Amino acid sequence: MAGPAAEVLANLRGKLEGFQEHLPLIKALRNPGLRDRHWDEISQSEPCQILVWSLCACWLFSICMAPFWKIHTTAGLMLVIERQK
C-alpha cells in the first residue's frame, strides 16, 4: 500500500501502539479492590503528591508505577480475602 492511505494507516498504528502502553494502568485503575484508603495511599506517595490525576495520566504511568503496582496488588489480594469471608 502506498500514498495517503499508507500514511493514515501508519499514523493510526503508531497511535494505537502508544495507547497500548497505557492499558495496564487503565486495567489497574479499574481494580474493584481499590478502596478510598488505597486511593489515599496512592495520592500521598512520592512523587505523586503533586500529580493532577485528570491531566497527568501519562506522567503517572512513567513516574509512579512502582508504588502504584504494589498498592494495586495488595488491594487485589485484599479483595480476594474479603470475598472468601
Calculate mean pLDDT across residues 47-51: 52
Look at the pTM and tell me if it is higher than 0.75. no
Calculate mean pLDDT across residues 49-68: 60
Confidence check: pLDDT of 55 > 60: no
User: What size, in residues, is the chain?
Assistant: 85
Calculate mean pLDDT across residues 7-11: 82
How many structural domains is the chain composed of?
1
Q: Which residues constitute the domain of residue 28?
A: 4-84
**What is the grid cell recorded at 76?**
487485589
- Cis, peptide link before residue 47, omega less than 30° from 0: yes
- Are the C-beta atoms of residues 31 and 76 closer than 8 Å to each other? yes
